[in-house]
Amino acid sequence: MLKISVLVSGGGTNLQAIIDGIQEGKNNIDSELSIVNAEIVQVISSKKQAFALKRAEKHGIKTVVADHQDYPDSKERNQRILEALRHEGTDLVVLAGYMSILDSTIVREYAGKIINIHPSLIPKYCGTGYYGKRVHQAVLDNKETESGATVHIVDEGVDTGPIILQEKVPVNPEDSADTLAARVLETEHRLLRKVIKEAAVKGGF
Ligand code: GRF
């Protein structure tokens, strides 16, 4: 059973996609997006108010908050996260809309076992400053005709680890950052489920 710790900061739609994939697997729905042999052992949030926490609670998933208020010192905050990962015997760490940088101690201890979902075709529109709506606005400002989503292994850089899976998404002439974000988000959910499905079968990457 692949033990997954999911790190969140916001609405948690990517977390929900994983929850739904696992639920489908439990109901023996054999689709390309149903996930078997995996469980979410905890959701760790960098924000107390993240709606992602409500999604976890609704499904009886353990939640941990490691936010800047309780842990103003980054080292202490990351130590709290590391302790939680170890405590639950985490096999895979998924950054799902996680808006903080992970300390190198965590990245090294879980090398090759941390994945992130980024809302662009990496290496375009990624790295420091490219997150959330800013990504999509930059795509529109540059009059791109396509964007996409990427799942990659997290290394000590920002959005620089090896790409596992990515998929293109068309940009429509009438798109706003919101409409493009919504289309890319759907692809994020699908890619994340596919990658986790395969990792659960193979026991990792
Ligand atoms: C979205 O901008 C998504 O592109 C990125 O994180 C943000 C929130 O995701 N991966 P979620 O709804 O909190 O999962």
Q: Is 16 in the pocket of ligand 1 (CB under 6 A)?
A: no
170 cis-preceded (ω within 30 degrees of 0): no
CA distances from residue 98 to 24, 116, 143 in whole angstroms, order as listed:
24, 8, 27
Q: What is the pTM of this model?
A: 0.97
Q: Which of 30-34, 159-163, 190-194, 201-205 has the lowest mean pLDDT?
A: 201-205
Between the CA of 147 and the centroid of ligand 1 the distance, in Å, is: 15
> How confident is residue 201, by pLDDT bands cut at 50, 70 and 90?
very high
Residue 83 φ/ψ region, left for φ over 0, alpha for ψ in the -120 to 50 degree band, beta for the rest: alpha
What does the pLDDT look like over 47-63, one tens digit per residue?
Answer: 999 999 999 999 999 99
Instruction: Specify whether 68 is catalytic.
Output: no
The protein residue with its alpha carbon nearest to ligand 1, atom 12, reads 13
- DSSP letters of 120-145? S-TTSS-STT--THHHHHHHHHTT-S
CA distance 91 to 87: 11
Amino acid at position 48, single letter = K
Alpha helices in 27-87 (DSSP H): 51-58, 74-87
Tens of pLDDT, residues 82-132: 999 999 999 999 999 999 989 999 999 999 999 999 999 999 999 999 999
pLDDT at residue number 29: 84
